[in-house]
Amino acid sequence: MKNLFKRTWFRVVFFGVLIGGLLIIFDEQFNLFGSKEEGSSIYDGPVSIEKGKIYFTEVKLSEKKFDFGKVKEGDTLMHVFNLMNTGKEPLFIHKSSASCDCMIAQYSTEMIKPGMETAVKVYFNTKGRKGAQVRTVILTCNTDPADITLTINATVE
């Protein structure tokens, strides 16, 4: 052991571990680095929120259904649904799910502030889909109820 203390690298490692351990022990006891606040319920992440509180907001839609009418098979159709955050909390669209693989929704994953509007583009590929078509996209948001259903109709010829 005496031979190891003569080596500089061992002394650096030994005292580094010793000082690090002491800092951890004293920080737990005296809160040296200010990392803990007793009883704090505030999370300061991208959006400041209180723990344990659920943030629901309200949404107003320009429309919930859209009819494309008669369209040719093979076309890719697109319609824009506008959502307005009419509540007092930020709106988040967490995910979307479509009724078939022929549809997809494109939307912003950013927070929509109260009073602001966002566009949800819904695309429908008509290839191999002849006849009357009724398709839906469900958006999951921080609203009550959590799911918003957007419906499109088309007659594919």
Contact of 141 with 59, CB cutoff 8 Å: yes
Whole-model pTM: value is 0.65
Alpha-carbon distances, residue 10 vs 1, 7, 15, 20 (angstroms): 10, 6, 8, 15
Quick one: pLDDT at residue 55?
Answer: 79
Comparing C-alpha atoms, which of 129, 130, 110, 103 is closest to residue 46? 110
How many other CB atoms sit within 10 Å of the CB of residue 58?
14
- Alpha-carbon gap, residue 118 to 83, rounded angstroms: 5
CATH of segment(s) 59-156: 2.60.40.10
Burial class (CB in 10 A: 0-12, 13-18, 19+), 90: middle
- pLDDT (tens digit, 0 to 9) for every residue of the chain, 157 residues total? 678 777 888 889 999 999 998 888 888 777 777 665 555 555 455 556 666 677 789 999 989 999 999 999 999 999 999 999 999 989 999 999 999 999 999 999 888 999 999 999 999 999 999 999 999 999 999 998 889 999 999 999 9
- Domain parsing of the chain, residue ranges: 2-36, 59-156
